[in-house]
Amino acid sequence: MPTSNWRGPEFRPFLIVFCAAFCILAATATLARKPFVNTPDAPSAPRPVDGAPEQAITAVLTWTCGGAVAYDVYFGTEDDPPLVASNISDLFYLGPLLDFETSYRWRVVARDQSGIETSGPVWSFVTRDNSPPIQPFDPHPTNLGLSGPTAILRWRSGDPDLQPVTYRLLFGSTNPPPQIATGLTERSYAVDGLQLNTVYYWRVIASDGTFSTSSILWRFHVIEVPVLISKFEAGQVGDAVEVTWELSSDEPIANITLYRRTTESTPEAIATVDAHARWYRDEAVDAGKTYHYELVVQTLDEEVYRSPIATVTTLARALALLQNHPNPFNPQTTISYDLPLADASQPVRLSILDVGGRVVRTLVNEEQRGGSYRVVWEGRDDRGDAVSSGVYIALLDVSGERRTRKMVLLK
């Protein structure tokens, strides 16, 4: 009986099938041993939504994404927008102020820990036209209030688009009052020599260079006040603290004493100043400490008048926006920031934005010197209305250099 040879021609087809099956099984086992690599999700849920019209020029770009640890942002007016930020960890991007009535395009590339990338689509939105400045409000002296012969006129205002605002001031004892100042960049103005038992009228007109918005007509009554300390402030200048005040008196002054204390110490007299002095430079301060100042005025008949307490923390060495505290918060939170030491004051703007980039509240918009500052936000917009729960962004802009912090309001 003949013996079959498994290497013979009749077995070759079976041998080929067997080898192919073995190779497939081996390859499958090898792949099973390799870890499965999952690419990050494509960025989605953009805000502003794709194609959105009438967006603020402070637009904050936000998105959602899973499986990523870093993002590259491409943004501009081109069809293929250029790279503007790389390797950021936040799910939002805040760029420079945009142009009015302009179409912008953007996309986000997500990257995981292994460096694997996934790009989102190109989204677009169109910015709105310029909005007028906020109507000046919250006057000081208060409307229908009282004042001494010297007054510091103050008001609040700003611009919803964060543009620079200048002010015209109309003031006088006639109605309507005449214009006495224009091109003001600070929201305050000193007037003195006012007549007793006289009503004064005033109005402020805010301008962003294109639109103007006028306040209502305010008025106050000037009466005799023995001693009026209408302003008392302290701020860091270089390595010292400068204390400034405005003072008017209808009685002879015996002495004016400036007191200082720290959190750990009791008040101590650090200077006795002349009745005509309006500032004092305190150079005996240390970095990283909080100081409280008070001005005490004593008249010849031994009546004593005290200023409000002015507080300053000597901390600033570089520009910084600190995390608000508490966070989350309800109903208010404190925002602290440090300004770099400089020879001159610098324009400072601290604003609260919603996640759509709209300005909710402008807390600071003035020239400030280097130092540490604290501002309380009570969860209200520029109109005084309470805002809803959600995520907000604190934006600090100092001469074009920006810092941001995310805040959460929970009600």
d(CA 181, CA 179): 6
Does residue 37 form part of some domain? Answer: no
Q: What is the pLDDT of residue 34?
A: 43
The reply to whether 244 and 308 lie within a common domain is yes
What is the token pair recorded at 13?
């087809």
The arithmetic mean of pLDDT across residues 123-151, rounded, is: 89
**pLDDT (0 to 100) of residue 43:** 95
CATH number at residue 217: 2.60.40.10
Specify the pLDDT at position 77. Answer: 96
Residue 295 pLDDT greater than 50, yes or no: yes
Q: What percent of the chain has pLDDT over 90?
A: 49
Instruction: With respect to residue 9, please indicate whether it lies within any of the assigned structural domains.
Output: no
pLDDT value, residue 167: 97
Residue 98 lies in domain:
44-127
Same domain, 237 and 290: yes
CATH code of the domain containing 404 = 2.60.40.4070
148, 215: one domain: yes
Residue 16 phi/psi, 5° resolution? -65, -45
Provide the pLDDT for residue 36.
Answer: 46
Could you write out the DSSP letters of every residue in 330-348? Answer: SS-EEEEEEE---SS-EEE
376 Cβ neighbours under 8 A, 6+ residues apart: 332, 333, 334, 335
Pick the last residue of a domain from 222, 250, 265.
222
Least confident piece of the model among 30-39, 109-118, 136-145, 181-190: 30-39
* 57 within domain boundaries: yes
User: Would you state the pLDDT for residue 317?
Assistant: 60
Same domain, 382 and 347: yes
Whether omega for the bond prior to residue 176 falls within 30 degrees of 0, making it cis, is yes
Give the residue from 172, 198, 222 where a domain finishes.
Answer: 222
User: Are 403 and 390 in contact, with CB atoms under 8 Å apart?
Assistant: no
pLDDT tens digit sequence for 189-240: 999 899 999 999 999 999 999 999 999 999 999 987 778 787 889 988 767 8
Cα atoms in the 13 Å half-sphere on the side-chain side of 367: 12
| In-domain check, residue 2 | no
Q: Distance (Å, rounded) from C-alpha 377 to C-alpha 335?
A: 7
d(CA 99, CA 128): 9
Please give the tally of structural domains in the chain.
4
Q: What percent of the chain has pLDDT over 70?
A: 89
Q: What is the pLDDT of residue 25?
A: 54
- Which stretch of 157-161, 260-264, 285-289, 365-369 has the lowest confidence by average pLDDT? 285-289
pLDDT of residue 315: 66
What is the three-class DSSP state of 268? strand
- Is residue 162, in this structure, part of any structural domain at all? yes
- The domain boundary, picked from 112, 127, 142, lies at 127
Residue with tokens 């040879």: 5
Same domain, 297 and 253: yes
Distance (Å, whole) CA 223 – CA 199 = 9
Backbone region of residue 193 per phi and psi (left: phi > 0; alpha: psi in -120 to 50; beta: other values): left
Strand ranges (DSSP E) for 89-165?
Answer: 92-94, 103-111, 117-119, 123-127, 134-140, 145-147, 151-158
